[in-house]
Amino acid sequence: MQYSSEIKEMCHVTLGTNHGPAPIPQEGGWTQVREVGDINGLTHGVGWCAPQQGACKLTLNVKNGIIEEALVETIGCTGMTHSAAMASEILPGKTILEALNTDLVCDAINVAMRELFLQIVYGRSQSAFSEGGLPVGAGLEDLGKGLRSVCGTMYGTKTKGPRYLEMAEGYVTQIALDKNDEVIGYKFVNLGRMMDMVKKGEDPATAMEKASGTYGRFAEAEKTIDPRQE
């Protein structure tokens, strides 16, 4: 190591007390993290690309510094879905430091990785106070039955008003209106459940009906409309 002449001419002063890094909460304990391998936790984060055309929600489950599980969810950009496919292969098996410095193809996914890295290394993980953390597979459970991301898609104009297109329950097929043409409910089909039934041999039309449901005061509607066509 090279030192400048100014440093060489200085006298030595003993460094003061150093208690090491501040402990952070990790999986039900307080840990002084000195190495990447000391990092544990499951958490979520959101990233966005420079033009803000799309966003990524990333979930990582880290054990002993290694990413054991990754859930990559994207919205708003068709190209991001292919980037997410690549990221799902790239992330597992890497340390969080490697993942931070790896090109994850899409800027939104890269930003999400940055945000997760900050959360995890500062002890802000979702599992910080869960003793022993969460098992590998916990990220997948966030998707629920049918293994589909929870997605909300709404559209509205001043001239024609709102259109509910996708809710937490699923794909909206009809919205219910009262006598004032205000929305009072909707009918939906849970596509995950429907496809599970179709894969088991159920007739698609029957499967669609079985996977359908309503929300709100749908039965009291003066009229219903298809939000995509009417």
Dump the DSSP string for the chain: ----HHHHTSPP--------SPPEEETTEEE---SGGG--EEEEEEEE-TT-S-EEEEEEEEETTEEEEEEEEEES-HHHHHHHHHHHHHSTTSBHHHHHTS--SSHHHHHHHHHHHHHHHTT--TTTTSTT---TTHHHHTTTTTT-----EEEEETTTEEEEEEETTEEEEEEEE-TTS-EEEEEEE-HHHHHHHHHTT--HHHHHHHTEEEEESGGG-SEEE-TTT-
Structure confidence at residue 17 (pLDDT): 82
Average pLDDT over residues 160-176: 95
Band (pLDDT 50/70/90 cuts) for residue 145 is confident
Supply the pLDDT for residue 12: 93
pLDDT at res. 89:
95
Number of neighbouring beta carbons within 10 Å of residue 128: 22
In tens, the pLDDT along 47-86 reads 999 999 999 999 999 999 999 999 999 999 999 999 999 9
How sure is the predictor about 44, in pLDDT bands with cuts at 50, 70 and 90? Answer: very high
Please, what is the average pLDDT of the chain? 94
Query: Can you give the pLDDT at residue 214?
Result: 96
Q: List pLDDT tens digits, range 80-131.
A: 999 999 999 999 999 999 999 999 999 999 999 999 999 999 999 999 999 9
